[in-house]
Amino acid sequence: MTRTASLLRITSVGTSETTSPTAGDLVLIHGWGVNRRAWNSVLPNLADHFRVHLVDLPGYEPATEHDAHASTAPSFADTADALAAAVPDGCIVCGWSLGALLALQAAALMPSRIAKLVLVGGTPRFTQDTDWPAAQPETVLKAFQDALGGDPDGVRQRFVALFNQGDSRARSIARDLNRLLAESPTPEPRFLLAGLDWLRDTDLRPLVRSVQQPVLLVHGERDPLMPPSAARWLHDTLPQAKLEVFPDAAHAPFLHDPERFGRSVRNFCHA
């Protein structure tokens, strides 16, 4: 097992007698700053229909004391490679935000293992470029990087406030996420910094056309972090893509309307 693989933690749920024996495997990957608990509110809509596997990215839930004190965080490419090797054969992979980037990369790496993708608040590139305006200026990430060393929990709370701007349920979503953050271990700053580096440097536009799996794109109409135009670009560029936009939602549409999200994923995966 590689060090990156040992830093990934995957927790399985939905394997009780209530789950259909023919249910497929659904892998959920969280975004930057939060861990697998971000999916808590949608689990009741998924766990009776899928064998759900919740991923904690490196540093969010260290597997061992040795891994917790690892001197360096893994690269984006190594993490996507470890993820693609760790998921069950024939699974559906659902990634949110940074998790959507990893899901795209993993699907391109091992198409035989990943049957379908669900990309929530997804984009092929987080930072702006001269030919990519549908993104954030690099200064946004720089501000978070500069503040992380002194107050990682405060930075994560500000990030939650940022990506919920414009959502009609912003206050309740932020309150629930901040409670989850308070109840969870704080990731080591080096892992949080590495994730911001991934967001700054990753550009998956060149490989998007090679992703042949069916893809469901779930995006908030008011997403202030990943503009809806990024989702439309993915919809137009991916060979097999369906776009579902949640009105009045920002960057966390699955938290804005968990029931609709669960229904959309079930319908897409069982089609």
pLDDT tens-digit series, residues 171-221: 999 999 999 999 988 888 899 999 999 999 999 999 999 999 999 999 999
pLDDT tens-digit series, residues 223-239: 999 999 999 999 999 99
Percentage of the chain modeled with pLDDT above 70: 90
Q: Please, which pLDDT band fits residue 7 given cuts at 50, 70 and 90?
A: confident
> Whole-angstrom Cα distance, residue 133 to residue 145?
22
pTM of the model: 0.93
Handedness of CA 69, 72, 73, 78 (dihedral sign): negative
CB-count exposure of residue 192 (10 Å: 0-12, 13-18, 19+): buried
Give me the catalytic one of 25, 53, 56, 97. 97
For residue 269, the Cα-to-chain-centroid distance in whole angstroms is: 18
Q: Give yes or no for a contact between 82 and 200, defined as CB atoms under 8 angstroms apart.
A: no
Give me the catalytic one of 30, 53, 251, 256. 251
Q: Is 223 tagged catalytic? A: yes
pLDDT tens-digit series, residues 18-77: 455 456 999 999 999 999 999 999 999 999 899 999 999 999 986 545 455 555 789 999
Task: Tell me yes or no: is domain 3-269 CATH 3.40.50.1820.
Answer: yes
Give me the catalytic one of 223, 256, 257, 264. 223
